[in-house]
Amino acid sequence: MVFSSILFIFRFLPIAMILYFLTPTKFKNLTLLLVSLIFYSWGEPKYFLIMVASIVVDYLVSRGIEKSRNNKKICILLLSISMIFNLGMLFFFKYFNFFIENLNNILGMSLKYVNITLPLGISFYTFQTMSYTIDVFLGKVKAEKNIINFGAFVCLFPQLIAGPIVKYTDINLELKHRKIDIIQIQDGIELFIIGLGSKVLIANNIGAFWSEIEGRGFGGVGTIIAWMSVLAFALQIYFDFSGYSLMAIGLGKILGFNFPRNFNYPYISKSITEFWRRWHITLGAWFKEYVYIPLGGNRVGRLRLYINLFIVWFLTGFWHGASYNFILWGLYFFILISIEKAVLLKFLKNNKIISHIYSIFFILLGWAIFAVVDLEQLKILLKEMFSISKNTQWIYYVRNYGITFIIATVLSTPMVKNIYNKLIKSDILKTVILMVIFLISIAYLVDATYNPFLYFRF
C-alpha cells in the first residue's frame, strides 16, 4: 500500500486517524502499533512475523544491554546479536541471490537461487533498529522499557516503507509525551498534499518519458533524447522520493511527531559534496554517524580519510540494491567527492556559474549509472549521451513534454516556495490552493495507470 493511492487516502488513512484520535492518550501508541502492522502486512502478510521478530529481538537486546552496563563483554555480545540479526535479515532478503549469482559465474558453480521477494522497507527499518541498539550500547539513550512504545517506533507507518530514516533519539520524547494542536495538524495536511502533488502530478508525468525511452531501449535514441531521458529520471526520482518524504513528514505531524527533513533542493547545489548534504539527508546522516565517524572521519591522515570515504560510498551504493550499477554509482561519488576534498572545493566556491554547470553535469551522469541496472544497456546509454547524433525525434518529445520539463525544473528550486510564502498570506487562499492540488491529484490517480514508486525496490 502506497500513500499515493486511492486505497490509502480514502480507506486506510481515515480509519487509522479516527481510531488514533478516539483512542485515549495512554493507548495511542498501541493503536499506532496495530494500524502500522496492518499497513505493513497489507500487501505481504507473510512478512508480518519478520517485523514482529525485529521488534522483539532489538527490544530484548537493548534491555539486556541496559541491565548489563557493568559487564562490557555481555554488552558487546548482545550488540553483536542485534547486528548479526538485522544485517543477516537484510543480507538474506536483499543480497543472497546476488552473491549466489556471482559465485555461480566466477567459480562455475550451480547453486540454486532462493525464491524470495524483498520485504517492504527492510533497508529503512533495519537501519532504524540498528541505530537504536547502537545508541543504547553507547549510552546515548536509555533502553525503552515499554515494548509497545518501541514497537510503535519501529513500524510507525508514515516512515516505515521509505523513510525518512528516523532514529529513536529523534522521537523518543514524543513517543511518551506529545501534544497535538490544530496548527500542527494543518501543517501536516499541507505537507501531505504538497507531497502528494509532487509525487502524482510531477514525478509520474515526467517519469512517463523516462519509462518510454527505457522501454524501447537506448540504442539509436540520439544525444539529445539520451540527455533528456536522464534529466527526466533525475526529476522523477527527486519528486517521487521527496514527495513521499513530505507525505511521511506531514502524516507524522498529524500524529504528533516531528520527523527530520530529508531533502533540501539538492539540484541547486554548487558541488557534489553539497548535493549529498541536500539529498536523502537522513541516509547521509546515518552513514556519517554510524560508519564514517567511528572509522575516524576526517580526523585522520590523508590516506585513511580516503579509505574511510571509500568504505562509506561503497556501502551507500550497495545499500541501494544488489546490483553492480549501484556499486559503481557509489564509487563514482567517492571519486568525485575525493577530488573535491583534495583540490576542487575552493575553486567551486569562487566560481558559482561554473560550479552549477559542473554539479548538474555530474549529477545527471550519476543518475544514468543509477537508473540502468543492465550494464550493457548502461554502456549504450552512455554512448548515446556522448556521441553526436542527427536524430530529430527529440522535437516530438520536446513538443509533448517540454512544458512538464520546465515546470518540474522550476519546482526543483526554492523559487516557487519563496514566492508562495511571500505572496500567499491568506489562510483561505492557501486552503483553496491546497484543495485544487489535492483534487487534481485524486483525479489523476482515479484515471491513471502509471503510478510507480522508485524507492520501493530499495
Instruction: Please state, in angstroms and rounded to a whole number, the distance separating the CA atoms of residues 22 and 77.
Output: 43
Are 145 and 52 within one domain? Answer: yes
pLDDT above 90 (res 423) = no
By three-state DSSP, how is residue 300 classified?
coil
Phi and psi of 114, rounded to 5°? -95, 130
What does the buried/exposed string (b/e) look like for 380-413 if buried means 16 or more CB atoms within 10 Å of the residue's CB? bbbebbeeeeeeeebeebeeebeebbebbeebbe
By three-state DSSP, how is residue 211 classified?
helix
Are 174 and 204 within one domain? Answer: no
Are 261 and 218 within one domain? Answer: yes
pLDDT above 80 (res 296) = yes
Confidence class for position 455, pLDDT limits 50, 70, 90: low
Write down the pLDDT at residue 294. Answer: 94
Residue finishing a domain among 137, 159, 178: 178
pLDDT above 90 (res 105) = no
Residue 106 CA to its chain's centroid (Å): 33
Instruction: Please state, in angstroms and rounded to a whole number, the distance separating the CA atoms of residues 32 and 13.
Output: 12
Are 81 and 221 within one domain? Answer: no
Are 297 and 407 within one domain? Answer: yes
Residue 213 contacts residue 231 (beta carbons within 8 Å): no
Are 310 and 332 within one domain? Answer: yes
Residue finishing a domain among 117, 149, 178: 178
- The cell for 108 is 562455475
Are 349 and 296 within one domain? Answer: yes
pLDDT above 60 (res 354) = yes
Q: What is the DSSP string of 220-238?
A: T--HHHHHHHHHHHHHHHH
Q: Is 233 within the bounds of a domain?
A: yes
Q: Is 203 within the bounds of a domain?
A: yes
Domain count, the chain: 2
Q: What is the DSSP string of 27-63?
A: GHHHHHHHHHHHHHHTT-GGGHHHHHHHHHHHHHHHH
pLDDT digits (tens, 9 = 90+) for 145-186: 999 999 999 999 998 887 799 999 999 999 998 888 899 999
pLDDT digits (tens, 9 = 90+) for 1-10: 788 889 999 9
Are 199 and 136 within one domain? Answer: no
Residue finishing a domain among 132, 149, 178: 178
Mean pLDDT of the region 376-397: 90
Are 272 and 338 within one domain? Answer: yes
Are 136 and 251 within one domain? Answer: no
Q: Is 68 within the bounds of a domain?
A: yes
Residue 413 contacts residue 268 (beta carbons within 8 Å): yes
Write down the pLDDT at residue 205. Answer: 92
| Domain range enclosing 309 | 184-457
Confidence class for position 106, pLDDT limits 50, 70, 90: confident
Q: Is 1 within the bounds of a domain?
A: no
Write down the pLDDT at residue 453. Answer: 64
Write down the pLDDT at residue 116. Answer: 82
* Burial of 256 (C-beta count, 10 Å sphere; 0-12/13-18/19+): buried
Residues with a catalytic annotation lie at 320
Mean pLDDT of the region 259-269: 96
Q: CA 398, 400, 406: angle at the middle one, nearest 5?
A: 60
Q: What is the DSSP string of 130-199?
A: HHHHHHHHHTSSPPPS-HHHHHHHHT-HHHHTT-----HHHHHHHHHS----HHHHHHHHHHHHHHHHII
Are 103 and 236 within one domain? Answer: no
Give the chain's mean pLDDT.
Answer: 91
What's the pTM?
A: 0.93
Could you tell me what percent of the chain has a pLDDT over 70?
98
Are 213 and 113 within one domain? Answer: no
Could you tell me what percent of the chain has a pLDDT over 90?
72
